[in-house]
Amino acid sequence: MSATAVSSSKINIHDFGAVAKHFQPTSKMKKALLLVDFDETMIRSGHPETGHLGGYRWRMNLWKTVDILVERKEIAKDHCILGALTLYIIKAVQVAIAQPEVATTIKELQSSGVHVMVFTARGRSGENSWNGMNINGIDAMTEQQMHQVGIHLEKKPLKLHERIHKCSMIFCQNISKDKIIKDIFDKNIFNKDEIEILGFVDDSPEAIDKVKGFAEAEGIPFTGFLYKAIRDIEEVEYDLLKATIQLVNLATHGCLLTPEQVETEKRKFSDQKNVTIDQFFQEVVKKINRIFVDNQLYEAGENVDQFYTRASSVLAKNFKSPTS
């Protein structure tokens, strides 16, 4: 099925390799442009042995917990616990690729002439670049993560754009992707008349529908791919107790427990009849927040590596498990 045979479509895929079957350029005169969501689509923060600590469902739990603690006035609303804790975890536990074929498929598409770029909700640097935090070096960290999982994008020359890093990474800074794409075309980074087809891979059907609407309004042939491999894995493997046990050990000792050690800690926790998993997690979040406040971790202004070094140090010195 060639790209030109589809004027506008949305395809559900379970294996990333299916993108190459549905998205192949046929014109040597025009470009095939494929935009792929990065976070929790191409790469995953969570791992099975950590209960998917730092992953999508864990972050949903964190946001819900922070709302509860703010409502109880147990933490202040202006604290950047969402940003600081997720950044600490993503630096402490390396990201992994969603499926092995992600990197090989991207290389295959590039070889066939497709211009592949990645999207992320992150900002490049400075104000509100990471979940409300003002911190430098998010763009460089993102590129490092991409290389860690074997993804290397071509550096095809483009006109300068404030949200594009190294000609291949688009940093949305929490602006919707369809608006960013529109801005990129409005500023003539790409000319719509030069595009044979626009492709978009995301784990959100709403995001795909918005980009599809943009492409149809502009008369650009479009293929959207709904790819939820990481979300599907987390539906089965997510474990808040395991994630919290691993977070406690990470904060205290700077490392993760083995699966056998985790099971031992889970049995110990089950013996404490008066504490629920949610209460355990709330207490851990409160303790980390207090340590970050006392040590001015929320007043960033530094780069990612400096933040992580400070965060690791102050947690190792000050954190004690609520169940110890």
Beta bridge pairs of residue 32:
114, 197
Beta bridge pairs of residue 36:
118, 201
Out of 232, 253, 288, pick the residue that ends a domain: 232
Full-model pTM: 0.90
CA distance 68 to 313: 28
Beta bridge pairs of residue 75:
none
Do 135 and 203 belong together in one domain?
yes
In a domain, 32, yes or no: yes
In a domain, 167, yes or no: yes
Do 244 and 224 belong together in one domain?
no
Do 17 and 149 belong together in one domain?
yes
Do 74 and 171 belong together in one domain?
no
Boundaries of domain holding 160: 7-42+95-232
Task: Give the tens place of pLDDT for each residue, 202-256.
Answer: 999 999 999 999 999 999 999 999 999 999 999 999 999 999 999 999 999 999 9
CA distance 170 to 292: 30
Do 84 and 161 belong together in one domain?
no
Q: 308, 133 in Cβ contact below 8 A?
A: no
Do 161 and 14 belong together in one domain?
yes
In a domain, 323, yes or no: no
Do 17 and 153 belong together in one domain?
yes
- In the chain, the number of structural domains is 2
Do 224 and 299 belong together in one domain?
no
What average pLDDT does this structure show over 253-261? 96
Residue 298 — left, alpha, or beta (φ > 0 → left; ψ -120 to 50 → alpha)? alpha
Residue type, 139: D
In a domain, 31, yes or no: yes
What would the two tokens of residue 254 be?
A: 């700077």
Do 86 and 198 belong together in one domain?
no
In a domain, 321, yes or no: no
Task: Give the tens place of pLDDT for each residue, 10-25.
Answer: 999 999 999 999 998 8
Task: Give the tens place of pLDDT for each residue, 115-163.
Answer: 999 999 999 988 888 988 889 999 999 999 999 999 999 877 888 899 9
| 3-class SS letters over 112-171 | CCEEEEEEECCCCCEEEEECCEEEECHHHHHHHHHHHCCCCCCCCCCCCCCCEECCCEEE
Out of 232, 250, 267, pick the residue that ends a domain: 232
Q: What is the CATH number of the domain that holds 224?
A: 3.40.50
CA distance 58 to 238: 8
